[in-house]
Structure 1
Amino acid sequence: MRDFPSCFGENGVQIADASSSSGTTLLTSTTPNIKNTQNLVTCVYQCKLHSSSSFIITINWSKNLMGQALSVEINEPTSQSLSMLEIKSSLFSKKRGFKTIQMGSNSINILWDLSCANFSSSPEPIENYYLAVVVNKELILVLGDMEKELHKKMNYSIISSKNSVFVSKTEHVFGKKLYSTTAQFCGKGQVHEILIECDANPGDDPVLSIRIDGKIVLQVKRLQWKFRGNYTILVDGLPVEVYWDVYSWFFGKLMGNGVFLFQTCLSAEKLWGSGQPGGSWSGPLVKDLGQSCGLGFSLVVFAWKNE
């Protein structure tokens, strides 16, 4: 890697063993209005019909002082068609329903039931819910653990398709020194708990630690000097490149954000071989990644400091 601070050797850390994932298109979200959004999770899925038509579906789970909200964005790249459903905070109390949308020649049905959903600190539910997208009577995406309840609501003529791939997750989290999220790095693999910690006692050099399922996989000392870097770990038997950029924590605004990228199937030379040596990747690079293909799964964490 050229002109990029690296704090470790080339040996990885094994987390768990599972099957590998296939390459997919990577899309990431733009930065929201942080003043209004306390927490935002954006999940991107690539889905295909049996006819080989493909769709990019973006799910935004958000939570602010007004409550929770959900938006579903459906994009058909070949026809450049775009449709969106928004369930705003004032409507979220209904927590169950369906919506039919016509997008060109495609008839789209979105069904959801969040009436019994359980949440943690994230606006994304963890259990007891479903969210589904049906295109031309073909079920192309199901989220949640209530698929049986979903099928009771649907017409028996609906075809169930399993051609959906979890492409990327972007999350904005807030904290003083601890930032947590979850990620599933391969299709049917384990859901891992990820904890990012920045421990900076008065008079001591700040230390950055990243734990996966409680196990430290990365630790950076003298963080003010090594505020950008990368390291490779192994998760579910897959090499995962970890990039961090915490420049704003020390040299930016009072409420700055660190940026962390966990990327499967992405080599450092591919990332920096296009003439971006050593620069901050928290803005332009994340945007460029959204236009790339075949990069596997990505998790992007924007960690905002609350003083």
Structure 2
Amino acid sequence: MHDSIGIPACFSSGEKQSDDAATVGRSGQSVFMSVYRTKLAGQCRLITVTWCKNLLLHGLCVSVQGSKSDEHHRCKVEMKPWHFWRKQGSKHLVVDGRAVNVVWDIKTAKFNGETEPQSDYYVAIVCEEEVVLLLGDLKKDAFRKTGCRPSLIEPILVSRREHVFGKKKFSTRARLNEKGNFHGILIEFNDSDHGSDPKLEIRVDGKLAVQVKHLQWKFRGNESISIGRNGVEVYWDVHDWLFESGPRHGLFIFKPISSPPIRGQQISVSAPSSPDHEALMNPPPENDDRSRFCLFLYAWKVE
């Protein structure tokens, strides 16, 4: 269950990768990372888009996997309040000898209090006159600016990772697939009995989905739930909350599964609006990358 946290490395200079978890905990910076798989420079690669926010800056980092799995080409944009021009521009990368351009426009982006912009922006990754990855809702502006055509291969969302902070309650809004509905996720850690019998509750869209009592013995586990008509496997690991000191986080993973739990065996949580009909009628096969998506939620406990 333990998962390395290498997210903020592109925003720091000279910091070791192994220290990233402690760096996030000390700084209290919000981090939101999305990983996509697509074809770029003649090869299937991972592209990681990371948004990072703290009191001093709002940052964007795009990382493109090289020919080796552990090799990455990065483009970093720091949007400090006094650098307004950085909210629109482009940067150039060379990946395996081929030119890659990262083009962005977030000068009118609406964040609505979130780390990742919610509307009125675009981030485009361009290679060989194709827009291989396009994020945001200003798609026409992106194609006009780049002068390039859409890629024939649709990118696949592999995972999302988010860091949230709190004392006992941790909340976020997230999609469990690229085109699905947003769901409100609330995680609550309750040790009101002075730590003698702490418990954990996970609510989705306001309804109780997972309840774990006797957490000191069940600090790691998983449970299947249904969100609307979709099945989701929920994993948790809160060992460090209970047994470690200093900056520490609990890890929660939400993984869609091919079919929802049998009615009556698990708690059902309704979606805020009707699910996508096409997705229900044509679920992805088990060997399809879309069925392997995971949402990783790092809940940092602040004393």
Same fold (TM over 0.5): yes
Structure 1 residues 38 and 107 mapped into 2: Cα distance closer, same or farther (>3 Å)?
A: same
**Partners of 1:28 and 1:168 within 8 A in 2:** no
**Partner SS state of residue 115, structure 1:** coil
- 8 Å Cα contact 2:29/2:54 also seen in 1: yes
Q: Residues 205 and 29 of structure 1: is their aligned pair in 2 closer, same or farther, counting only changes over 3 Å?
A: closer
* 1:279 aligned residue: none
Report what 1:75 is aligned to: 65
Aligned counterpart, 2:218: 226
Matching residue of 1:165? 156
Structure 2 unaligned segments of length 5 or more: list them: 7-19, 259-287
The aligned residue for residue 123 of structure 1 is 115
Cα distance change, pair 45–92 in 1 and its aligned pair in 2 (3 A): farther
Query: What's the secondary structure of 1:150's corresponding residue?
Result: helix
Q: Does 1:56 align with 2:42?
A: no
Q: Which gives a bigger RCO, structure 1 or 2 (Cα 8 Å, sep 6+)?
A: 1
Give the RMSD, CA atoms, in angstroms.
3.1
Residue 263 (structure 2) aligns with:
none
Q: Quote the offset at 1:149 in angstroms.
A: 2.1
Name the structure 1 match of 2:294.
Answer: 298
Note closer, same or farther for the CA distance 1:212–1:175 as it changes in structure 2 (3 Å cut). Answer: same
Structure 1 position 150, deviation (Å): 1.6
Partner amino acid for 1:75?
Q
Per residue, is there more helix in 1 or in 2?
2
**What SS does the aligned partner of 2:27 have?**
coil
Structure 1 residue 181 corresponds to structure 2 residue 178: no
| Cα displacement (A) at 1:178 | 1.7
Structure 1 vs Structure 2: percent identity of aligned residues? 37
1:261 to 2:271 alignment = no
> Aligned in 2, Cα 1:92/1:41: closer, same or farther, shift over 3 Å?
farther
Can you list the C-alpha shifts for 1:148-193, whole angstroms capped at 9, x where unaligned?
Answer: 22223121x4344451011111111111122122332234222322
Q: 2:192 aligns with which of 201, 208, 219?
A: 201
Cα deviations by residue, 1:15-71 (Å, 9 ceiling, x for unpaired): xxxxxxxxxxxx97524422235211121000125x963221011111123221111
What does 1:1-307 correspond to in 2, within 5 Å? 29-30=5-6, 31-32=20-21, 33-34=23-24, 35-48=26-39, 53-77=43-67, 82-90=72-80, 93=84, 94-155=86-147, 157-203=148-194, 205-235=197-227, 237-265=229-257, 296-307=292-303
TM-score by length of 2: 0.74
User: Structure 1-normalised TM-score?
Assistant: 0.73
Q: Report how many residues are paired.
A: 256
Structure 1 contact 208–223 (Cα < 8 Å) conserved: yes
- Measure, in 2, the Cα distance between the counterparts of 1:102 and 1:185: 32
Structure 1 stretches of 5 or more lacking a match? 5-26, 267-292
The 8 Å contact of residues 81 and 103 in structure 1, kept in 2 or not, is answered as no
Shift of the 144–159 alpha-carbon distance from structure 1 to 2, 3 Å rule, reads closer
